[in-house]
Amino acid sequence: NTPKPGEVIVRPEAKPAESIALDLAGKTDLTVECFAKFPKEGAAGELFAFTPEGAPQFQLAVADGVLKAKVVPGTGGLNVETAAVPTDGAWHHVAMVVDGYAAGTSRVRLYVDGVRSATHVERVNWTVPFTAGTFEVGRGFNGKVSSVRVTTGVVAPADFLSERMKS
C-alpha cells in the first residue's frame, strides 16, 4: 500500500526506524516535513531519506548539533545546514522544501518551527525527475520522529503540518 504524496505517511515513534515504498515518479519539487524531538546532547542520525538507485535523492540528518540536508539531483548536489537544533526536549516541526527543477536553478530551504533557518540556491544539472524508491525514517537517529509528510510541490510555511498532527 504505497501512500499518496501529501498524506502523513508514517508515525514511526513506535518503531526505531521504518522503510516505506514511495512513488515520486515524474515529480521534481517537493516538501518533506516531520516533527522531531532532539536529545539534549549529541543529536545524530537521519530524520528521513529517499535513496532510489541512480536517481535523484534527498536526505535530512542531524550531526554536530545542526540539521544537514543533502539533495543529489543527478550530477553534483546541494548541501545546506541550519543553525543549532533545539535541544529543549520538546517536539519541533522540521521541513525541507526543494524546488527549481524546471528553471535549472535549484533551491533547498530548511525550516524549524515554521521559521526558515537555511537556504541554498545553486545551478545544478537535474538529469531526471524523482522516481519510485525507498523512503526511510529515523535510521540511526537518537531522538524521536513523528508525523512525516511528503508533498509534491512547494508547501508554504502557513500550510505546514500543525501541532495537532503530531502523534
Q: Which grid coordinates belong to 37?
A: 524531538
- For residues 147 and 162, is the Cβ–Cβ distance under 8 A? no
In the DSSP assignment, the letter for residue 39 is: -
Q: What is the pTM of this model?
A: 0.83
pLDDT band at 152 (very low <50, low <70, confident <90, very high): confident
DSSP secondary structure string for all residues of 28-47? --EEEEEEEE--SS---EEE
pLDDT, position 125: 60
Q: Tell me: pLDDT of 12 over 80.
A: no
